[in-house]
Amino acid sequence: MRTEIKIIENRLGEKVTGTHPIGGGCIADSARIDLESGQSYFLKCYNTNNQMLINETNGLRELRKAGAINIPEVIIADDTFLLLEYIEPGRQKKDFFSIFGRQFAQLHKCTAKSFGFYEDNFIGSTPQYNIPTQNEATNWTEFYFQKRLLPQYKVAEQNGYADAQISKLFMKLENKIADILTGTDESPSLLHGDLWSGNFLIGKNNTAWLIDPAVYYGHR
């Protein structure tokens, strides 16, 4: 991280006085860095895929625009690393998930004219396809099948997991999915895209923070 630390010092105009590794990630190396002013930030270094860095930056900024849930601010997005606002850990209270759920309802009120997103990104390290065709942009069933289910099937097929039975069932699903999803029309809503227990933090004062998004506009 020496190169990244040097860039940060030059950009912020002060010395880094300490680095503290943070575990949990499998795609990037992470650490809390402390500056001489007493300010701390979260440093995430990408060793292999610069495109992930770009996508994560854009996703965080898109979520912040909604103003619904706490999203770490991007301080620096450089060629190989992200420097983010550091979230001081807090303690979960009994009403945490009730508050979190209401905030998600507000997030989903942020809508767009079409399904998808202006760029493809990643869910974990797997490519996620977001740029819709004209039909997919206005038809959730088409978008969901072509951009979510079909790519997963193709990955399974490429890795030898899609045997004859799986292939037959998937073809049946393709023929029935329009009927299965009929009557579920919704405006395209802003989605985190990869929400699980490892992708949110509990900050001070029982606050929820979203991290590591795979953003797109989809069915809430």
| CB within 8 Å of 87: residues ≥ 6 apart | 42, 70, 72, 201, 203, 209
Which whole number is the average pLDDT over 192-200? Answer: 95
What would the pLDDT profile of 23-40 be if each residue is shown by its tens digit? 765 567 899 999 999 999
pLDDT at res. 31: 94
Mean pLDDT, residues 48-65 taken together: 93
pLDDT tens track for 112-138: 999 999 999 999 889 999 999 999 999
**What's the mean pLDDT in 4-30?**
88
Provide the mean pLDDT of the chain: 94
Residues 84/122, Cβ–Cβ less than 8 Å:
no
pLDDT given at position 46: 82
Q: What is the mean pLDDT of residues 83-104?
A: 97
Catalytic residues: 194
- Provide the β-strand partners of residue 43: 31, 83
pLDDT above 70: residue 180? yes
Structure tokens at 147: 């951009």
Q: What is the pTM of this model?
A: 0.92
Distance CA 181, CA 184 (A): 6
SS3 208: strand
**pLDDT of 201 higher than 80:** yes
pLDDT > 80? residue 50: yes
Q: Which residues have CB under 8 Å from 13's CB, separation 6+?
A: none
